[in-house]
Structures are given as structure tokens and as C-alpha cells.
């Protein structure tokens, strides 16, 4: 079996650039310059300790072994993620859109669209009500 090495900074190769909440961390300069590791990098290999994490979303997602909240069977009724999305800021609604898009269309399609984004959220080229 051939071993494949993935560059986690390339969205076409990895979902590690997608935050547990749906934020697309790959576009962040801090993430690109290795000053931030996003939600997931470093936990699987033990470089970071999930017990020290302060984000409830990250702790829940990683402890359940999910790539993001999009994978969770109780997503629609989860108080942790739904409280996060209910915050009064545009970006939280965009993160929710990303999660809903992933739930309906999968990570591969999300990454194909997100690779052209300049921010941690962007446009999908379709009406967002089509993936709710």
C-alpha cells in the first residue's frame, strides 16, 4: 500500500483547514504562517492536549472523533453549536451555512468551492436555502 503525505495547508488535500464550527481556517494568515493550528491540528499526534482546550465546540467534536459538527447526528438539537450560531454576527451565520453545506454535499464539494475564498467564509454559487 502506498503512503500518501498530505499538506494540511492545501484545501484540496485536507479537511483539517475546516474548523469544527464550519469556519474555513485555511484562509487565515495566522493559520497559513503556522501561528495558529486551527481546531484540529496537533491533537491526533499528541502535540496538543484536548483537555486544555477552552472551546466547547472543539472539545465535543474532537472527543467524538468528528471532522466537524457537520458529522454529528444531534447537530440540529445540540445546544453547544446552536448557541454559537445564534450569536448576532454575520460570520456565525456563514459558519452555519458552511456546516449545512457540508452536511448536504460533503467535504470534497465544500473544499472545491472554498479554495477560492479570501476569508473564513464565502459564496457557494447557489442559493443557500438549497442545502438546509
Looking at per-residue pLDDT, the higher value among 127 and 63 belongs to 63
pLDDT at position 72: 97
How far apart are alpha carbons 125 and 8 in whole angstroms? 25
Specify the pTM: 0.82
pLDDT in tens, 14-58: 788 999 999 999 888 888 888 888 888 888 888 999 999 999 999
pLDDT in tens, 42-52: 888 889 999 99
Domain map (residue ranges) of the chain = 25-125
Amino acid at each position: 500500500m502506498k503512503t500518501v503525505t498530505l499538506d494540511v495547508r492545501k484545501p484540496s488535500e485536507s479537511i483539517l483547514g475546516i474548523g469544527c464550527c464550519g469556519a474555513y481556517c485555511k484562509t487565515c494568515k495566522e493559520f497559513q504562517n503556522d501561528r495558529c493550528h486551527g481546531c484540529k491540528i496537533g491533537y491526533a499526534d499528541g502535540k496538543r492536549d484536548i483537555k486544555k482546550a477552552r472551546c466547547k465546540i472543539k472539545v465535543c467534536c474532537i472527543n467524538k472523533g468528528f471532522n466537524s459538527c457537520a458529522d454529528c447526528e444531534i447537530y440540529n438539537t445540540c445546544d453547544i453549536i446552536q448557541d454559537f450560531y445564534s450569536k448576532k454576527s454575520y460570520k456565525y451565520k456563514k459558519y452555519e451555512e458552511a456546516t449545512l453545506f457540508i452536511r448536504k454535499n460533503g467535504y470534497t464539494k465544500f473544499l472545491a468551492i472554498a479554495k477560492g475564498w479570501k476569508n473564513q467564509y464565502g459564496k457557494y454559487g447557489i442559493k443557500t436555502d438549497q442545502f438546509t
